[in-house]
Amino acid sequence: MNLTLKIWRQKDAKSPGKMVTYPISNIEGHMSFLEMMDILNDELIEKGEEPVAFDHDCREGICGMCSMYINGEAHGPDRRVTTCQLHMRMFKDGETIHIEPFRANSFPVVKDLMVDRGAFDRIQQAGGYISVNTSGNTQDANSLPIPKADADLAMDAATCIGCGACVATCKNSSAMLFVSAKVSQYALLPQGQVEAKDRVINMVNQMDIEGFGNCTNTGACEVECPKGISLDNIARMNRELIKAKA
Amino acid sequence: MSKSKFTTIGRKILMALSGFFLMFFLLQHLTINMLSVVSPDMFNEVSQFMGTNPVVQFALQPVLIFAVFFHFIMGIVLELQNRSARSVKYAYSKPGTNSSWISRNMIVTGLVVLAFLGLHFYDFWVHEMTVKYAGGDMTGLINPNDPNSGYRYYEELVMKFEDPIRVIIYIISFVLLALHLMHGFQSSFQSVGVSKGKNFIKKFGNAFAIVVPLGFIFIAIYHHLQH
Ligand code: HEM
Ligand code: SF4
Ligand code: FES
């Protein structure tokens, strides 16, 4: 496959960036998108140019680092995959591929395609945990029965990898899907009840402080989320907030 | 960003509640207007009641006016905030692959409805207020000095729809209201945290969003063709 890449290049957080065109050839359909980026970078290094900076770590869809907005969609045209899991067979020979960083004021660009998602960490720190002393008094898991349906929903919510595709996709740069997944994960389980009120209030407050937009229920996040996090989590978070404030 | 005491979610819930109220009002308004097709007499009676009953005039009407203002001002505020949450736009974006046009353009459909509401206020409401409270004529009669002249409401309604331009503006506005509600109805349930029966809410919402505006359109065309 021969492709034309149009990639956002930005020297650092302060410099303005621009789209730069790079032709690339001999790309195989079985390659992942990041392998294709590696090949491009090898070529750039050989030519003595600056390689394209992008985040990645696990390359198997679990770390959530590989933030790229590919051809107008977060993580590209495939569904339920991260950029590292996106195969080049999703593209046609001769195609032009636009590659941009995830964009939101709350996710400032660090360099090229790398963005700072520290806002998500700060939201987690505001309440995405349970305070249990686990040293020495670990309880048998089966002594706390949890309905299967609840356990399943909590597990589904817990699959959120914090990639930020929901924010990148949302026309309002809203972080509601992410925050609601984190709130739901605990709200559904008995262990999460002790801090339930503080958790939802503090996490939502932090989300607002970080400057994410308001949810308008377009549902774009749910479609683009690589883990299929459901909009039901947002409804649950809204219920939790009403309960906590009432 | 959030300096007010409401969280972004709190504001969103208020948006949904004002939406619920407006949808309920719309249904009530349609029911009364439908009477003009069924029976002009009944329409006149109910109009005179609604126009002179103190509870309607001084309790419900202010709430309605507040809800309308709250809804569109908050809608505009939210839209501006949301736009400013992403200063550098994507060079290339395909929002159509993951969301519907109507869900992304509530502000567009909303502003058209707002423009219509302006005209509507001018057409009916300002007129009513002038006659009743500035003119002091609470009789609701065609000729306030002649008790046998009959109520004026039906006559006035029919007269408004003689003008084909007004009928066309009416139709366009209600089509846009339908689009507004096709997203708004189900969206407001999601906002207040209802996720059980999502499919039913969506279907019912679509039916509501089409049937109610269509009812208003029908009335406008009916009176236009009748006269
Ligand atoms: C009779 C007239 C109207 C009705 C019945 C109505 C109904 C609704 C409903 C049910 C929603 C959904 C609320 C939610 O998602 O929680 C909504 C949202 C919205 N409306 Fe209206 N609306 C009306 C007029 C207007 C007007 C005049 C504007 C003017 C700007 C407007 C602007 C908006 C906007 C921007 C939203 C989206 C807000 C958001 O999702 O955060 N609407 N409307
Ligand atoms: S909700 Fe989905 S899109 Fe958003 S951060 Fe979690 S995994 Fe990524
Ligand atoms: S690199 Fe870890 S999810 Fe893609």
How does pLDDT run across A190-225, given as a tens digit for each residue? 999 999 999 999 999 999 999 999 999 999 999 999
**Same domain, residue pair A99 and A157:** no
Tell whether A26 is covered by a domain: yes
Phi, psi of B146 (to 5 degrees): -125, 100
* Residues A218, B13: C-beta atoms closer than 8 Å: no
- The answer on A212 and A104 residing in a single domain is no
| Same domain, yes or no: A208 and A100 | no
Residue B110's Cβ-count burial label (10 Å; 0-12, 13-18, 19+) is buried
Q: Average of pLDDT values for A9-26?
A: 97
A38 within a domain of the structure (yes/no) = yes
Residue A24 lies in a domain: yes
Instruction: Answer yes or no: do A171 and A100 share one domain.
Output: no
Residue of B nearest to A232 (CA): B195
Q: Is residue A105 part of a domain?
A: yes
User: What are the distances in angstroms from CA B118 to CA B28, B63, B111?
Assistant: 20, 18, 10
The answer to the question of residue A138 being in a domain is no
Q: Do residues A167 and A61 share a domain?
A: no
A14 touches chain B (CB under 8 A): no
Same domain, A162 and A99: no
Out of A76-80, A135-139, A151-155, B216-220, least confident range: A135-139
Q: Quick check: B211 pLDDT over 60?
A: yes
Tally the domains of chain A: 2
CA of A86 to the centre of ligand 3 (A): 10
Same-domain check for residues A18 and A89: yes
Distance CA B162, CA B177 (A): 22
Is residue A139 included in any domain, yes or no? no
Query: Looking at beta carbons, which residues of chain A come within 8 Å of B11?
Result: 214
Examine the pLDDT at B2 and tell me if it is beyond 60: no
SS3 A22: strand
Q: Rounded to the nearest whole angstrom, what is the distance from the C-alpha of residue A61 to the centroid of ligand 3?
A: 5
User: Looking at the structure, do residues A182 and A241 belong to the same domain, yes or no?
Assistant: yes
pLDDT value at residue B5? 64
Model pLDDT for residues A104-135, shown as the tens digit of each residue: 999 999 999 999 999 999 999 999 999 877 77
**Ligand 1 within 6 A of CB of B223:** no
Residue A97 placed within a domain: yes
* ipTM score over 0.90, yes or no: yes
Taking only the tens place, the pLDDT of each residue in B153-196 is 999 999 999 999 999 999 999 999 999 999 999 999 999 999 99
Q: Is residue A137 part of a domain?
A: no
Instruction: Based on the fold, state whether residues A87 and A170 are members of the same structural domain.
Output: no
Query: What is the domain-level CATH number for residue A21?
Result: 3.10.20.30
Please check whether residues A85 and A148 belong to one and the same domain.
Answer: no
pTM above 0.90, yes or no: yes
Q: What is the mean pLDDT of chain B?
A: 94
Residues A152 and A227 placed together within one structural domain of the fold:
yes
Contact criterion met (CB below 8 Å) for B134 and B23: no
Boundaries of domain holding A96: 3-111
pLDDT digits (tens, 9 = 90+) for A171-186: 999 999 999 999 999 9
Q: Ligand 2: which residue has its CA nearest to atom 1?
A: A178
Residue B27 to residue B20: CA distance in whole angstroms:
11
Q: Which domains does chain B have, with CATH numbers?
A: 3-83+104-224 (1.20.1300)
